[in-house]
Structure 1
Amino acid sequence: MRQLMQAGLIAMMFAMPAAMAQNASPAGMWKTIDDETGQPKALVRVTEENGVLNGRIEKLFRPAGQDQNPKCTACEGARKDQPIVGMTILSGLKKEGNEYTGGEILDPAKGKTYKSKATLKDNGNKLEVRGYIGAPMFGRSQTWVREQ
């Protein structure tokens, strides 16, 4: 009986991180990491309302001497020439299984909007965000690191 209880406890210890990751929410503050340079780019606050994720830039990491509050000059429509800090760049993601899909992500540097999906990784401490055209295989991924 004692061995059976120990085996059960061990099984629960291994199952808990997976269960926690499945129940974790992407809501919170994330540091975006540039997929080309590996350097931090911004802090994005992801919120979840009625099962839909949206993300807004709260801070940019820019070298000294560069404009610390740049405008989205490459954007079109209502975002044209608006400050990037405070701009919603991630919108409309809905949970589907272990992923969040069906959303859009804006690349303020290019002013382009792409389809998007996101997946929590590393027990909810990392968020893999993919922007793509057409199908997910035609895109780029960034890994965002949870700040809080």
Structure 2
Amino acid sequence: MNYLRIFLMLLVSITVNGQSIIGQWETYDDSTKEKKALIEIYQKDNLYFAKIVKRFNGDNNAVCKACTGTKKNKPIVGLVIIENIKKVGNEFKGGTIMDPENGETYSCYLKLINANKLKVRGFLGFSVFGRTQYWIRKE
């Protein structure tokens, strides 16, 4: 009986902690709450990245005029906006997020709130100054 209880508790723990951020996520405008973009998070070499797959409220052929370096004037759809995130416990951190509207890059961390909700925080310094968004998993 005790073995069954231990097994079930372990199974529940693995299921909750084993949820993945990989997949497609919908973003929403902070002020209007309108659906803004579809983002795909993927893993490469034990790091996580995210790219814009589709824009819902803008030209899908637009380029990132505000971006710098190799991303300048590249199409926004297909643009990698999150780079080099590492999984540390239940958080994903250590990488960056780029805002294609202003071309600025910020430190970033992600935290899975539940299977369908992801906390995304971009910040300067020690995360005191920044912005948090919640992305919803696309079904």
For each residue in 1:96-116, what CA deviation from the matched residue of structure 2 results, as whole angstroms up to 9, or x when unmatched? 111000010010001111000
What is residue 40 of structure 1 aligned with on the other side? Answer: 35
| TM-score (norm. length: structure 2) | 0.87
What is residue 61 of structure 1 aligned with on the other side? Answer: 56
Number of residue pairs matched by the alignment: 138
RMSD over aligned Cα, in angstroms? 2.3
Structure 1 gap ranges (5+): none
| 1:120 has 2:115 as partner | no
| 1:132 has 2:123 as partner | yes
More helix by percentage: 1
Separation in structure 2 between the aligned mates of residue 146 and residue 134 of structure 1, nearest angstrom:
28
After superposition, where does 1:1-148 map in structure 2 within 5 Å? Answer: 8=5, 12=8, 16=12, 19-62=14-57, 66-122=58-114, 124-148=115-139
Separation in structure 2 between the aligned mates of residue 19 and residue 34 of structure 1, nearest angstrom:
33
Structure 1 outlier segments of 4+, above 6 Å: none
Aligned 8 A contact 2:52 2:78 in 1? yes
Structure label with greater radius of gyration? 1
| TM-score (norm. length: structure 1) | 0.82
Structure 2 gap ranges (5+): none
* Higher normalized contact order (CA 8 Å, seq sep 6+, divided by chain length): 1
